[in-house]
């Protein structure tokens, strides 16, 4: 038996939802989610057209192929998960979407248009916000200032107006401040708004980072392991926030997560990667019954 992730395997088995998710139940029938028509989910959320499409993405670092010819799409209003064992290329994929990496081959389509070669800040200005696996906050700034930076893409006054506090500068600041206060309320971080981020515990930092990404009112929200290193309670909170965000603002979410329970509960569709290749794509039910996925996670018996 080839054991790719002995720890993960043990955890899957002991945690109660091990084989529940990877059991040999029948493969589900094709459902609405495989068509390209807008539809309404069971819990009443509107899923629209394709928002972002990755076409035949290949990403290499020297001789290492991190992503190999992967295509998938993200539809408006859905929660899309990317899962896979360590080193499968999930974070690389997220970095391609957010413009931090540029694939050697393939195309990224956003809102029906092929994306040119863009720097990360240009991608952000297009309405793609993200969080990072190892939290990238402005440690020296207060929570409020951190979340305010999320509004930068919405602030249009130029440097001269800003420098002289002329014209629209003040009005703009007030408006954006109001938007930020709403996000702060929404994520229940009022109590720490003046605290420098560097002093916060890990779980709260993760929440502040989500707040900053949300402040941008993104069309597409990318979350790189939003629940990594959290305890069960914090995971529940974070899951609730992600669902609420999706529900209330209709924000499209693409996330990477290791916690299978969370992934299966949260997402509408799941892409599974292994060794840089896509080995599964579909609803949580389809994915957990996919033999290639089961093999990648639990290893294959050589007999």
Partner 1 sequence: MPDQLFFAMEVAVNGLMAGVLYALVALGFVLIYKASGIFNYAQGVIALFAAMTLVGIMEGQVPFAHMINSTFGTKIHHFGWTIPGFVAIALTVGLMVLLAWAVQRFIFRHLVNQEPIILFMATIGLAYLLEGMGALMWGDQIKTINLGLPSGASIWVEDTTESWFGYGFFLARLDILATVIAAALVMALMIFSQYSKHGRALRAVADDHQAALSVGISLNFIWILVWSIAGFVALVAGIVWGASSGVQFSLSLIALKALPVLMLGGFTSIPGAIVGGLIIGVGEKLFDFFMNPIIGGATENWFAYVLALIFLVFRPQGLFGEKIIERV
Which residues in this chain contact partner 1 in the complex, by CB under 8 A?
A: 98, 100, 119-122, 124-125, 129-130, 132, 136-141, 145, 148-150, 152-153, 155, 157, 159, 162-163, 165, 169, 172-173, 198-199, 212-213, 216
Least spacing, CB of residue 129 vs partner 1, in Å: 7
Q: Would you say 1 or 163 has its CB closer to partner 1?
A: 163
Q: Three-state DSSP class for 186?
A: helix
Residue 47 CA, chain-centre distance (Å), reads 17
Q: Would you say 167 or 198 has its CB closer to partner 1?
A: 198
Least spacing, CB of residue 159 vs partner 1, in Å: 6
Judge whether 284 and 266 are in contact, CB under 8 Å: no
Residue 70 and residue 68: Cα distance in Å, rounded? 6
Q: Would you say 57 or 137 has its CB closer to partner 1?
A: 137
Least spacing, CB of residue 134 vs partner 1, in Å: 10
Residue 22 and residue 24: Cα distance in Å, rounded? 7
Judge whether 108 and 54 are in contact, CB under 8 Å: yes
CA distances from residue 41 to 33, 77, 252 in whole angstroms, order as listed: 9, 10, 14
Q: Would you say 23 or 167 has its CB closer to partner 1?
A: 167
Q: Would you say 19 or 165 has its CB closer to partner 1?
A: 165
Least spacing, CB of residue 303 vs partner 1, in Å: 45
Our CA dihedral for 4, 8, 13, 16, rounded to 10 degrees, sits at -150
Judge whether 279 and 293 are in contact, CB under 8 Å: yes
Residue 95 and residue 136: Cα distance in Å, rounded? 14
Q: Would you say 153 or 267 has its CB closer to partner 1?
A: 153
Residue 286 and residue 189: Cα distance in Å, rounded? 37
Residue 194 and residue 190: Cα distance in Å, rounded? 9
Q: Would you say 71 or 149 has its CB closer to partner 1?
A: 149
Least spacing, CB of residue 162 vs partner 1, in Å: 4
Least spacing, CB of residue 47 vs partner 1, in Å: 26
Least spacing, CB of residue 101 vs partner 1, in Å: 12
Residue 123 CA, chain-centre distance (Å), reads 15
Residue 266 CA, chain-centre distance (Å), reads 12
């Amino acid at each position: 038996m080839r054991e790719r992730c002995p720890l993960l395997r043990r955890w899957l088995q002991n945690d109660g939802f091990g084989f529940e998710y990877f059991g040999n139940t029948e493969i589900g029938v094709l459902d609405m989610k495989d068509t390209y028509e807008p539809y309404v989910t069971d819990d009443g959320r509107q899923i629209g057209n394709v928002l972002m499409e990755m076409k035949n993405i290949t990403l290499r670092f020297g001789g290492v192929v991190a992503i190999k010819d992967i295509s998938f799409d993200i539809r408006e209003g859905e929660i899309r998960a990317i899962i896979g064992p360590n080193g499968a290329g999930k974070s690389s994929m997220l970095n391609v979407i957010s413009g931090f990496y540029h694939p050697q081959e393939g195309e990224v389509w956003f809102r029906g248009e092929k994306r040119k070669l863009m720097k990360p800040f240009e991608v952000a200005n297009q309405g793609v916000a993200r969080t990072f696996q190892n939290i990238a906050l402005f440690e020296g700034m207060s929570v409020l200032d951190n979340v305010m930076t999320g509004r930068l893409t919405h602030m249009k006054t130029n440097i001269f107006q800003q420098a002289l506090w002329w014209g629209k500068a003040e009005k703009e600041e007030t408006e954006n401040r109001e938007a930020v206060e709403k996000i702060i309320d929404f994520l229940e971080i009022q109590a720490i708004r003046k605290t420098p981020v560097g002093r916060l515990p890990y779980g709260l930092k993760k929440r502040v980072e989500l707040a900053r990404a949300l402040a941008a009112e993104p069309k597409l929200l990318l979350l790189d392991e939003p629940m990594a290193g959290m305890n069960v309670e914090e995971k529940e909170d974070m899951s609730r926030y992600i669902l609420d965000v999706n529900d209330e603002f209709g924000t499209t979410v693409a996330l990477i997560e290791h916690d299978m329970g969370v992934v299966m509960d949260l997402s509408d569709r799941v892409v599974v990667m292994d060794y840089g290749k896509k080995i599964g794509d579909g609803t949580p039910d389809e994915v957990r019954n996919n033999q290639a996925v089961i093999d990648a996670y639990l290893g294959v018996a050589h007999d």
